[in-house]
Copies of this chain bind each other. A is one copy, B any other.
Amino acid sequence: MVKLKEQGAAPRLFLDDLHVGQFFASGTHPLDEAQILAFAQAFDPQPFHLDDAAARTTLFGGLAASGWHTAAVTMRLQVESGLPFEGGIIGAGGEISWPRPTRPGDILRVESEVLEITPSRSRPDRGMAVVRSETKNQRDEVLQVLVAKLVLPRRAAD
């Protein structure tokens, strides 16, 4: 199954194939209350992620997904349809922010732009790309901004 999928997929990109300003768009992921509650129970069991009535009395004003849930769904979208990078998506770190809460019923997608490309000085087989990704909902509201440092392989020299 994996093999068939790989055969039909677009070629994967090395660091050398990227350019600053390059844009990528992912598919979509509909997020419902059941997913929000399951993630919160496992990893972020706070009232505003677990119970809509309790959430109404907090800063969130209603049930909201954990920011880490938004980050995790973003990663799934990037892996499946967002960033077709050779060797996968390997992050060394980055800056993350959540400008507004992710709500039940939001349909998430990710738009990404390459900001920087830096070949490694010490390792000629790899380099770093800085990629800024906005996770948006179906109303184009930005739920998360992640500026990530990603490690990519380079094409072998001729």
Contact = CB atoms under 8 A, between A and B. Distances in A.
A44 interface: yes
A9 interface: no
Contact of A91 (B67, B75, B76, B93): B67
Chain A contact-residue range equals 35 or more
Contacts of A76: 42-45
A44 B68 contact: no
Contact of A98 (B44, B79, B91): B91
A75 B151 contact: no
Given A75-B43, A76-B44, A97 B90 contact: no
Contacts of A67: 91
A51 to B, nearest CB: 11
Nearest to A145: B93
Contacts of A94: 95-97
B92 A45 contact: no
A18 interface: no
A47 B96 contact: no
A66 interface: yes
A75 B76 CA distance: 19
Contact of A71 (B48, B58, B68, B89): B68
Interface in A41-99: 42-48, 58-60, 66-68, 71-73, 75-76, 79-80, 87-98
4 interchain residue pairs of minimum CB distance = A93-B97, A43-B72, A46-B88, A68-B72
